[in-house]
Structure 1
């Protein structure tokens, strides 16, 4: 039941974390103001693969990723690239990433990542039942398609770990995968089907969240970039943005890939690098896909949505920039017929290519919780490739923290200031 007079909450950032925070705070009776530096239509949640991924219990910082990343560095069409830079932020992030890319880190953190994703999937189900929402939520699972014996071995081992974590997973032969995709020929050795996963149409979700929070009374200030903060030793007093001062009882800092810059203005240090990804939409005349998939060797995501197929991929680490590297896009296009020979996908024009920045923490874990220093500031971000998947969990936990309630998920490992 909606309760009143909880107080005022100010949210920085209109991406999936900020919108879901507004959604749950409004439900709990808070007066909500949301600030966004853009128009709420240019963030990373719009063009991503729309996947809900309890399967992604392994953080980005995992064994083998450093060696593989070095090999990919020398291929202009590869799925991973680090833009050379003398940036102290990139170097510091890199050392932290290498430190965490080990089996012990994965084992320690996997249950918490799994639980946060499962919570979020459940919350998406609840949200989709509301009359204000129709964002093509489906629970058909995701197919992890592989073509090489090396990947077969790695993925089957990962599937065994997933089963030990209680996830619904099935290993499929080539024939088994083909039965699940009767409309298109597959050229693979097999797949692991993560039936615990789901997918949705991001554009519809984001538009409906914006409309919902406006309808419920949220005050949204677009093109209102944060330029400063007023705070004493223990609490935030106000946010300075767009030439105005905004006061509140509780503050929520999201901001996606811009989180470190915003946090720095508040005297906080939150390491994060933007991981640029590209995507484009394809309209099939036939051969419509039934299931979303990940093309494992190529690191390409494939999602049917809105009567189209969205193809996406690449992880380009470096400073924020608005350039589009068409070689990376071509790498995505060239991977498609290797798995789906029937799909004749042409290289899209540059104007039809979307790009966005995944907010990547150096240990691959999200930032979620109260600031240690500023007692009325809650931070939610750093979800990397899980950002959209974790949206409702972010929002639910933010609201519970604001209400000083027990959290629905164990967030002990997600402390926003764990690197300070």
Structure 2
């Protein structure tokens, strides 16, 4: 379902000033970009408290430069992978348009662009006329935009399919449909991974189970809070008109990506546990929000389009969990990337490789420590 963004532009962690207030306004509106399903759940309550504590200016100042650097490195690693492995997954560096329909939305993007410039990231503010010159086919109905020329995008399914084949050719074994039920611990090490059909003995274990990572972490006594942030997407096959650049509709929090033979539209952040059902009200809100920005997109384009959904693993401070688990000597984690999973995939793999090979990590790496919320007694 991923929109395939490679986003140095996303240098502000999800936990930032103003997010809590905006979330409170939205949380009980089923059509809003953010929805929290009301329920008495201890993990959710703790996650919300930790999110509230992290949503401050000091946290943003501490993390933004590192988050930007990681996304820049990851984008370049995609380009390197494409060149060295001769893979074709629609890698492009066309940039990203953040489109705004209101003065408030445009001013917020202007402020972020100034922060980006101070961090060394290029941006350009655009008028309505300039936006329409860049997008003459779908003619967005906007007041203006911020353009991030250093962003890129890929086709996620193309990339994952080719990587799967490449790894299989390199001798990697895949066990499809094999759910992990438990991790057996002995002398502060994982000695086996238990599934319904067999046990896997192990020397090293990488926990990268997306939104299900927290469940498995609890099996070994690690408190690694995560919530599954459900998102939806639809891909229009060969639409009569298409975008020329990826775009985010800032007031609606909708993402759009043009592919060679399609246009992907995605959005929403729905916290409803590990529920993967489709909320049609939220899907219709995505369609309506898209058409509000792009009147050229007709109802019939969106009729009967297949709806995909998935859970993004979201940490309370908006930073991923990458690194060694302090209490389990052979367990490493890579999870909690929220909306940056595809963007940060290659750099996450590189960081894990450096950890496993015993390299000295930079001081900023502590920001990704998977033990940072843990009160483990193991």
- Normalising by structure 1, report the TM-score: 0.86
Q: Deviations over 1:120-140 (max 9, x none)?
A: 111111011134511001000
Q: Which has the higher contact order (CA 8 A, sep 6+)?
A: 1
Q: 2:22 aligns with which of 63, 68, 77?
A: 68
**Where does residue 101 of structure 1 map in the other structure?**
55
Contact kept in structure 2, 1:333 and 1:347, CA below 8 Å: no
- 1:239 maps onto 2:187 in alignment: no
> Which of the numbers 365, 389, 393 marks the counterpart of 2:319?
365
* Match for residue 216 of structure 2 among 237, 262, 284: 262
- Correspondence 1:57 to 2:57: no
Deviation at 1:376, TM superposition (A): 1.6
Q: Which of structure 1's runs of 4+ aligned residues deviate more than 6 A?
A: none
Give 2:172's aligned residue.
218
Of 129, 145, 148, the residue aligned with 2:99 is: 145
Find the counterpart in structure 2 of residue 329 from structure 1: 283
1:323-365 Cα shifts (integer Å, max 9, x gaps): 2111101111111122222121448567810000000001110
Q: Tell me which of 32, 36, 51 is aligned to 1:82.
A: 36
Partner Cα distance (1:409, 1:181) in 2: 42
Change (3 A) 1:108 1:80: same
Post-superposition offset of 1:249? 2.1
What secondary structure, in the 3-state scheme, does the structure 1 residue paired with 2:193 have? strand
Secondary structure at 1:139 match in 2: coil
> Which SS does the other structure have where 2:171 is aligned?
coil
C-alpha distance in 2, partners of 1:242/1:349?
41
The answer as to 2:67 corresponding to 1:113 is yes
**Mapped partners of 1:346, 1:263: distance in 2:** 45
Within 2, Cα distance between the matches of 1:180 and 1:407? 42
How do 1:2-401 residues align onto structure 2 when only pairs under 5 Å count? Answer: 47-346=1-300, 348=302, 352-401=306-355
Kept after mapping to 2: 8 A contact 1:145/1:293: yes
Unaligned runs of 5+ in 1: 1-46
Task: Report the aligned-residue RMSD.
Answer: 1.7
Distance 2:82 2:11 in 1: 24
Select between 156-165 and 265-274 the one with higher mean Cα deviation: 265-274
**What CA deviation, in whole Å up to 9, does each residue of 1:35-89 have, x standing for no partner?**
xxxxxxxxxxxx1111011111111111111111122224321111000110000
The 1:124–1:407 alpha-carbon spacing in structure 2 relative to 1, beyond 3 Å, is: farther
- Checking the alignment, whether the CA contact within 8 Å between 1:223 and 1:242 is kept in structure 2 is no
Contact 2:239 2:262 in 1 (8 A): no
Distance 1:363 1:378 in 2: 19
Instruction: Determine helix, strand or coil for the equivalent of 1:398.
Output: helix
In the aligned structure 2, how far is the partner of 1:350 from the partner of 1:325? 15
Q: 1:408 to 1:182 in 2, by over 3 A?
A: farther
Give, in whole Å, the separation in 1 of the partners of 2:121 and 2:157: 28
Q: CA deviation at 1:283?
A: 3.1
SS at match of 1:221: coil
Residues in 2 aligned to 1:183 and 1:96: alpha-carbon distance in whole angstroms:
44
Provide the C-alpha distance between the structure 2 equivalents of 1:350 and 1:280, rounded to a whole number of angstroms. 10
| Runs (5+) with no aligned partner, structure 2 | none
Distance 1:409 1:131 in 2: 32
CA contact (8 A) 1:369 1:414 kept: yes
